Amino acid sequence: MMGRILVVEDNAALAEGLAYNLRHEGHDVRIAEDGESGLADAREWSPDLVILDLMLPRLDGYGVLAAIREARIDVPVIILSARGEEADKVRGFRLDADQYVTKPFGVLELLERVRSLLRRASARVPGPHAGELRFGDVVVDVQARTASRAGAACTLTPKAFDLLLALVARGGRVATRQELLKEVWGYGAFVLSRTVDSHIAELRRKLETDPAHPRHIVTVWKVGYRFETS
């Protein structure tokens, strides 16, 4: 699938190299050389995917990603970084990054990640979920990607919303963390398992009456999670 891809990278040689390979794949590519320009392009150009460096002038990558998510721009984001520490990865995923790629990286691997994310983004709302979901005092509008509890709006991050749909789709069956990592984040081997737990915690905070004793998003000890409607 072809798409509009925004590359936010201040290393001109790397940015041009990425753009060359992405254009060779048929994508429309725009380059931003600093964080503020990248954020403006994300808001105004409406890309299908963002490749985002962390060490940027004017506004760093974490700031760009946080602003994108605060603006509810539901676009897949791949972080590129020379920082390979676990804490950096966790921070990126908590801000709702889709992938975290450590420099140096293989171009073919990055292109495959781009393909995977674009495919998943194009099929974001599966047929069985079309319409409205109700459980307890929660109402979820799947197509609008909005949720409310007891009549009050609940703001869910894009990945938390996808995780909720993945759990609901199983009809009460247990989902392991690895299954959820693969389905929601795509490349399970490259994502930390605690990413699932942090997004589960977000869902419980927003949708459960008592997050410490959840009724709907239930932990199955040493296995994973299950969704219950009652």
Which residue ranges make up each domain of the chain?
4-122, 127-227
Query: What is the CA angle 208-62-95, rounded to 5?
Result: 15
**Per-residue pLDDT tens for 153-171?**
998 988 899 899 989 888 8
Gap between the Cα atoms of 154 and 98, Å rounded: 21
Beta strands 224-227 and 175-176 are: antiparallel
Instruction: Using pLDDT thresholds of 50, 70 and 90, give the confidence band for residue 193.
Output: low
Gap between the Cα atoms of 179 and 202, Å rounded: 19
Query: Domain 127-227 is in which class?
Result: mainly alpha
Contacts of 7 (CB under 8 A, 6+ apart): 15, 18, 19, 22, 29, 30, 31, 32, 51
Judged against a pLDDT cut of 50, whether residue 192 lies above it is answered with yes
**The pLDDT of residue 92:** 87
Judged against a pLDDT cut of 60, whether residue 29 lies above it is answered with yes
Output phi, psi for 170, to 5 deg: -85, -5
pTM score of the predicted model: 0.69
CATH superfamily for domain 4-122? Response regulator (3.40.50.2300)
% of residues, the chain, pLDDT over 70 = 92
Strand partners, 149: 138, 152
**The pLDDT of residue 130:** 54
